[in-house]
Chains A and B, each alone.
Chain A
Amino acid sequence: MGKSLLDKVWEAHAVRELPSGQTQLFIGLHLVHEVTSPQAFQMMREQNLSVPFPDRTFATVDHIIPTDTRQRPYADTQAEGMMSAIEHNCREFGIRFFDASSGHQGIVHVLGPELGLTQPGMTVACGDSHTSTHGALGAVAFGIGTSQVRDVLATQCLAIQRPKVRRIDVDGALRAGVYAKDVTLHIIRRLGVKGGVGYAYEYAGTVLERMTMEERMTVCNMSIEGGARLGYVNPDATTFKYLRGREFAPSAEHFDSAVIWWASMVSDADAPYHDVVRFDGAEIAPTVTWGINPGQAIGVDERIPAPESFPADEREVAEDAYEYMDFKPGRAIRGTRIDVAFIGSCTNGRLSDLREAAKVARRGHVAPHVKALVVPGSQAVAHAAEAEGLHEIFIAAGFEWRLPGCSMCLAMNPDKLVGREVCASSSNRNFKGRQGSPSGRTLLMSPAMVAAAALEGAVVDVREMLK
């Protein structure tokens, strides 16, 4: 019997099996941001702990950073406090910090891959649930809490239960106007927001094989929205090519031996899976969420489902969603008026996302009643986009071109919805209050669909705009 990538990575990083049945797992890359780390550093001080592997942790600032100005001190004194804390903590514990002056600042899940810090066969942990993103490179990557951030700082290890592995095959080919975001929303819609609890998702099939690294990141990013703490794609030639020449990737001299090891971590043909789920890529439409969790999603041509169409344990959440969103079952999602359009986040804030959105944006102008924001995922993404003139396309079309950060994905900075506003968003969560207004409403969709909605002032089918 062969082994899956998860099995191989787990065994290579297992320090020992613990009496609890958990594994003491070595963490190859630890990423830190300002929101979930200050208490961990404080615990380190209180417990008199030091960092044994300081060069395996990297920090940046993304959640609270304003996207309009980088002037210090920040207007928000709490944000300024968090920024000062991470600066101080990184200095004190000898951790490399990519701040706004480094040229490398950005959303932690954008910069890990883009700097070549994330590599195949690694274990990656970060105090952020979207750490699953890094699985796109064939890493075993998952989110942790703050006490576990302390554990990784202090020991470079975690005590953790090995997950079951579900392979998700997406075969066939995607239709034009259908993107990686639609693939992941479709999977979550079908398998549910709790379907993946206890699982790692191994994404495979021709659709995933043909995807670029950035598209795979979008899919892996949202594994957690389906309940799976981690998701990954087996590394292949696309992965190796992506990594070559990146700042923290193995040097040219050692790259070939790296590729040999990376390739050895790929799932064997006879690897065991707990189960296998198959999707046909051709059946996936541009997908939009209508409710209060990412599983409440439909094709843009569909109508909001009736309560009877849900299994019993999802019906109450659906009823809650109709009320919160003020949407009635049977209503078309297309034509839903929006107030705000947000393009960015660790799900869809990379260069290829901005390119796809710009292809739409260049066809018109943002509707007068819509506030539209484009927030690049990192300084490197912003720089590359500006070199191509994408920012000019967005600005000419009436979008605001902002500085990198998490921004309106979770609205810990000044970018927030107001009141009952409806936001077409390329982010990952449509939870109640997620975008900063306790009564604000979020419709998740691909960046191209967000750009199309911004121009139209309402949800539209991007395929028609691209004709």
Chain B
Amino acid sequence: MSELQRITHVTGRPIPLRGNDIDTDRIIPARYMKAVTFEGMGQYAFYDARFDADGHSKGHVMDDPRFEAKGPRVALVNKNFGCGSSREHAPQALHRWGIKAIVGESFADIFFGNCVALGIPCVTASEADMLYLMLAVEEDPAHDLTVDLQGMQVTYRDKVYPITLPAGVRSQLLEGTWDATRTLLQVQQQVRQTAARLPYVSGFRR
């Protein structure tokens, strides 16, 4: 099992991905999921929004030279980001493209949980702050943004925005226990006892 990795903050160049209700089919079209590994998923992130049928760039923000940067990236999103299909390929593609944290107005449930399992904090800011933050980034994108999970704030160009994250998820990220397998394996005896109490597990024979 992997080493515990504590995530206290993420610093990187921001990338605004505007729009409400962006579904995971858009984040990674199904035709790119026909692989038995997640490797290489990064190149297909938002593929159909970025490229036309001949593979030419449509000038999407992810390919805009103004927003080009090396190192970790922080995505800025609006409401209900990641709705639809449960495909973990979506956060995997974003992660492999470079996105290590997401700041947005709200997230779809399954997508949010999938991100936690990969150690990608999805933090929430107010609608007004997201509006301001996206405009600030679009105006001048060439600065690092910091998502601080200890101070629960985002900082961009000396301006500070408060963020929220469910307390439990925050502690998992801060303590490095976001990969749940290790935690779930701690109480195997209790799991067997729970199973034994459920009458269907024995086909109602007891």
The segment from A172-180, A311-319, A384-392 that touches chain B is: A311-319
- 8 Å CB interface, A423-437 against B: 429, 431-434, 436
The segment from B28-36, B135-143, B150-158 that touches chain A is: B28-36
User: B128 at interface (Cβ–Cβ under 8 A)?
Assistant: no
User: A20 at interface (Cβ–Cβ under 8 A)?
Assistant: yes
The segment from B9-17, B68-76, B96-104, B181-189 that touches chain A is: B181-189
- Chain B's nearest CB lies how many Å from the CB of A30? 13
Assembly CA distance A51 to B42 (angstroms)? 30
On chain A, the residues within 8 Å of B205 by CB distance are: 254
Q: Is the CB of A313 within 8 A of B20?
A: yes
Q: Which residue of A lies closest to B202 (CB)?
A: A254
- 8 Å CB interface, A147-179 against B: 147-148, 150-151, 154-161, 163
Residue of A28, A47, A161, A251 near B198 (CB, 8 A) is A28
User: B63 at interface (Cβ–Cβ under 8 A)?
Assistant: no
Assembly CA distance A156 to B187 (angstroms)? 12
Number of A-B contacts (CB under 8 A): 218
Q: Which of B20, B86, B194, B195 has the most CB of A within 10 A?
A: B86
Residue of A64, A198, A258 near B204 (CB, 8 A) is A258
User: B23 at interface (Cβ–Cβ under 8 A)?
Assistant: yes
Interface string of B166-202 (1 = CB under 8 A from A): 1111011000010111011101101100110111110
- Chain B's nearest CB lies how many Å from the CB of A421? 14
Seen from chain A, the residues whose Cβ lies within 8 Å of a Cβ on chain B are: 12-16, 18-22, 24, 26, 28, 35-36, 38-39, 42, 47, 49, 52-53, 56, 64, 76, 78-79, 81-82, 85, 119, 121-122, 127-129, 131, 142-148, 150-151, 154-161, 163, 193-194, 197-198, 224-225, 227, 229, 250-251, 254-255, 257-258, 261, 293, 313-314, 316-317, 320, 410-412, 429, 431-434, 436, 438-439
Seen from chain B, the residues whose Cβ lies within 8 Å of a Cβ on chain A are: 1-2, 19-21, 23, 25-26, 29-31, 33-38, 48, 53, 79-80, 83-89, 91, 106-110, 113-114, 117-118, 166-169, 171-172, 177, 179-181, 183-185, 187-188, 190-191, 194-195, 197-201, 203-205
Q: Could you name 9 residue pairs across A and B whose Cβ atoms are closer than 8 Å?
A: A20-B168, A26-B191, A36-B87, A38-B37, A147-B114, A148-B113, A154-B185, A194-B20, A224-B110
Shortest 3 CB-CB distances between A and B: which pairs?
A20-B168, A21-B168, A145-B88
